[in-house]
Structure 1
Amino acid sequence: MMDRTSLARKLITRRRNRKESNLMQGAILTKYAVPFSALSSSAPEKRKETDLAFVSFQLKEEIELRKQMNVSELNDLDEDTRVEIEGFRTGTYVRLEIHGVPYELVEHFDPCHPILVGGIGLGEENTGYMQVSLKRHRWHRKVLKTKDPIVVSIGWRRFQTTPVYAIEDRNGRHRMLKYTPEHMHCFAMFWGPLAPPKSGVLAVQSLSSNKVPFRITATGWVQEFNNTARIMKKIKLTGAPCKIFKKTALIKGMFTSDLEVARFEGAAIRTVSGIRGQVKKAAKIEPGDALRRKGEITEGIARCTFEDKVLMSDIVFMRAWVNVEVPTYCNLVTTSLQPRDQMWQGMRTTAELRKAHNIPIPHNKDSVYKGIERKVRKFNAIEVPRKLQPLLPFKSKPKDRPKGKKGSAVDMIPEIMNIGEKKIHGALQQLHLLKHEKTRKEKIKRGLQKKAHEAQKAKTDEITRKRQREDRRERYREEDKKKKRARK
């Protein structure tokens, strides 16, 4: 409890400070009137700069005088009264009482590792989607993959999340990227505690300190909190005709249900040969239709129209965009809740799990890059009726056609052989057959010998190449030694 003398002194000090602050504000306003009037007038630039410098110097002097007067007045007060008026000064030891602390923090507390105490704004207490401008660090060896976990440090928080990378197209669409670009920024959207815009972002993949490569994965800054931003991914749906009319066809294999067909009504489609079309609606398959008789799946068959008649061998495809869901995963880094010699372990990437459990990478034959070999299609010539040919212009009339060779009348007479001639003809056919078989076997044998010779030659060439490379290295070493000796 304070006595009456200290309380009276406290009241007198407050009144004096209030009066002096009012006088100081009036002096500042009066002094500000001179430079502003000088600025509005047609005085030279040097006079303006001199007036502004004079005002700033006077303000600094008055602020320093006020600070010394406050310190001298506060030094006369006792400690409790000074804390009530001034607050806690810099360098003062304070005692904080924090509720809801896990017992692991007290159990594994190490005085050698200080704890930073800070505060966050009201908007940072919520959790949501954040849109970040991110760039892979140029010293990091590998590119980052979408939905691979990374540890992000933003403001006071460190947490692990699974971002989805995207880039903005010219039409404003955010297109998903499977990997981050090499030397440019991209968008990254992830779920986590919100941070104010323009906050710095630092990302690492692992917190272990025994990693040889560079650990900083990416850097960036927070753009905005955007729960409505959508990231799209491009897909290509393919199908094949199952029934063809004049310029309409039923396409199967592109959709899985009639509901999907209704979702893509009016979408543009195209064949590999370049015929454009449009999805109309789901096809109605009657009970007596050929597709039902064959037992095929009739769900998801679409009725489509085209510019021209399509063939059964045509492949129909459609380019579409689908929404990509950003995972709502956020795992806070709790290094203070475990011993200091133990490394914090979060979610591992797919590559790390495969390496730990010795799981091979799945091989999909359809994903292997291979050359496309298409057979050259030969179409039948257009047959114009003879009655229509005289009506056509000369340019469109069929001409320059090779005439078919007709045999002579002698060649068309069948040859009648007797019994002896038939035997001789049969023996000659057998000899020709034996000759052809022998030639075929020799050709196969020569092919095998050629392959064995090429394999042996490749081995010899490899050995020769290695020997020549070693000889060159030895020669270069000797020449380098001679040059060094000559320099000395």
Structure 2
Amino acid sequence: MDEETDGKKDPQFHRNGGQDGGFLDKLKEEIELQKQRNLAELKDLDDVTRLEMEGFRTGSYLRLEVHGIQYEMVEHFDPCHPILVGGIGLGEENVGYMQVRLKRHRWYKKVLKTRDPVIVSIGWRRYQTMPVYAIEDRNGRHRMLKYTPEHMHCVAMFWGPLAPPNAGVVAFQNLSENQDLFRITATAVVSEFNHAARIVKKIKLVGYPYKIFKNTAFIKDMFTSALEVARFEGASIRTVSGIRGQVKKAVKAGQGKDGSARCTFEDKILMSDIVFLRAWTQVDVPRFFNPVTSALQPRDRAWKGMKTVGELRKEHNLPVALNKDSLYKPIERKPKKFNPLKIPTALQAALPFASKPKDTPKQKRQSLESLRAVVMEPHERKVHALVQHLQLIRSEKIKRRKLKNEEKRKAFEAKKAKDEQLSQKRQREDRKQRYLKEDKQKKQTRQRLE
């Protein structure tokens, strides 16, 4: 069955293949005939007319005239470094935000910092820009990273001339020849022109209540103006004690300083509670790019662009800026002082006597015992010390007696367990003998009856 099927299919397959091959051969023949006709027609024409009709032939030399070139390029021209002439697509002439998938090179020892200038090489262009690094969360949010990850890719967004997707990107920190570190800092690939992508970072706003109602409170020091309060209307807030709430509106004029907000909570909060709001704020990508003009200067001098913050600090011998709010501080928690428990009178009347609060009136005068100060005489001190020594000796004797009694008890329990074991063994032997004797008597009685 399979052989018949294969036999039926093979001729059809070969026949189709033959038809395709014949069509291609026929097409090639037509192209070759047309080429020969063109050559025959253009053969008798002069070179100028033929160039206008046919165009430049392969292998011919051209002379290009480029206008608007700076005089430095001609002055510092080096024939040992040829110039490549190429063209770019129509969409690559525009400037905008580019999103690339970047990874720090494994041989580069330092990490890359957000907004530190780097030189990128994309296609025909080399320019300096200031990228912002981010990582994409599961929900599609681009969260800003201060530094590039160690052994994984991240998203980098920067401003510059656009390049087509899947174009390779190579990043450098500088173009100097005299450097000890590995030159290539990162490699990337263009993913898309994402103008709508927003890079965000976390913010935490802290406020304090200054007026509390039942489930409503006025919060201060969280916002700076009524416009900012309007921006965060409906945002979720919570207190340190875990009570959740929501921002409603800015307070009216005269009810608090500018930036105070009216918030509602699940329960009544305390004046000592701290209210905080967790949100996300957008990070702006700097619109900066500086083309590398290394062809406009001598070859023995390296092109220098914008310096990083670390390089500027090193040159001017400046220490790292210290932010006091970023330092770790000792946690000081003041003891919480709760108000005394107040039981309503109606509830006190319904309670049993044992559960009712016992109101003892305070004494206006101090008692005689608290007023009198006891000062012992030397003889009394000796007597007191002797009594303490005697009590110590007595407590030691009691302790030793208890230990000795415990040892005796353990020995007695061990002996008792041993005797009980022997007794059980003896009882088992007695039962065995008794059962044998009774069995023998039963057999003798049975034989007599038979």
1:48–1:194 Cα change, 3 Å: farther
In 2: Cα distance, 1:274 partner to 1:149 partner: 43
1:415–1:136 Cα change, 3 Å: closer
1:307–1:158 Cα change, 3 Å: same
In 1: Cα distance, 2:57 partner to 2:270 partner: 87
Deviations 1:223-268, CA, capped at 9 Å, x for gaps: 2223232222221111112222333222111111122122222221
Please tell me whether residue 227 in structure 1 is matched to residue 186 in structure 2.
no
Please tell me whether residue 354 in structure 1 is matched to residue 321 in structure 2.
no
Match of residue 299 from structure 1: 258
Specify the code of the residue in structure 2 equivalent to 1:329. Answer: F
Please tell me whether residue 172 in structure 1 is matched to residue 140 in structure 2.
yes
Match of residue 283 from structure 2: 324
Post-superposition offset of 1:70: 7.5
Mapping 1:190-205, distance limit 5 Å: 190-205=158-173
Post-superposition offset of 1:271: 0.9
In 2: Cα distance, 1:162 partner to 1:126 partner: 18
In 1: Cα distance, 2:221 partner to 2:246 partner: 16
Unaligned runs of 5+ in 2: 1-7, 379-450
Specify the code of the residue in structure 1 equivalent to 2:232. Answer: F
Please tell me whether residue 212 in structure 1 is matched to residue 212 in structure 2.
no
- Equivalent residue for 1:144, pick from 112, 122, 126: 112
1:50–1:416 Cα change, 3 Å: closer
In 1: Cα distance, 2:335 partner to 2:367 partner: 36
In 2: Cα distance, 1:285 partner to 1:342 partner: 64
Post-superposition offset of 1:219: 1.5
Mapping 1:247-262, distance limit 5 Å: 247-262=215-230
Specify the code of the residue in structure 1 equivalent to 2:185. Answer: T
In 2: Cα distance, 1:146 partner to 1:275 partner: 37
Instruction: Identify which range, 162-171 or 45-54, moves more after superposition.
Output: 45-54
Mapping 1:67-78, distance limit 5 Å: 69=36, 73=40
Please tell me whether residue 240 in structure 1 is matched to residue 199 in structure 2.
no
Post-superposition offset of 1:317: 0.7
Match of residue 272 from structure 2: 313
In 2: Cα distance, 1:239 partner to 1:385 partner: 35
Match of residue 66 from structure 2: 98
SS at match of 1:388: helix
TM-score by length of 2: 0.71
Match of residue 410 from structure 2: none
Post-superposition offset of 1:88: 2.6
In 2: Cα distance, 1:44 partner to 1:231 partner: 62
In 1: Cα distance, 2:193 partner to 2:85 partner: 26
Instruction: Identify which range, 347-356 or 224-233, moves more after superposition.
Output: 224-233
Specify the code of the residue in structure 2 equivalent to 1:304. Answer: C
In 2: Cα distance, 1:245 partner to 1:322 partner: 31
- Taking only aligned residues, the RMSD between alpha carbons, in angstroms, comes to 3.8
Unaligned runs of 5+ in 1: 1-40, 292-297, 429-488
Post-superposition offset of 1:319: 1.0
Aligned length: 367
Match of residue 130 from structure 1: 98
Identity of aligned residues (%): 63
In 2: Cα distance, 1:403 partner to 1:349 partner: 74
- Equivalent residue for 1:278, pick from 222, 230, 246: 246
Post-superposition offset of 1:166: 1.9
In 2: Cα distance, 1:94 partner to 1:375 partner: 86
TM-score by length of 1: 0.65
Post-superposition offset of 1:59: 6.4
Pair member with larger Rg: 2
In 2: Cα distance, 1:102 partner to 1:174 partner: 42
Please tell me whether residue 374 in structure 1 is matched to residue 333 in structure 2.
yes
Deviations 1:406-461, CA, capped at 9 Å, x for gaps: 99xx96468689xxx9xx99xx9xxxxxxxxxxxxxxxxxxxxxxxxxxxxxxxxx
1:151–1:52 Cα change, 3 Å: farther
Post-superposition offset of 1:82: 4.8
- Equivalent residue for 2:14, pick from 47, 53, 76: 47
Match of residue 264 from structure 1: 232
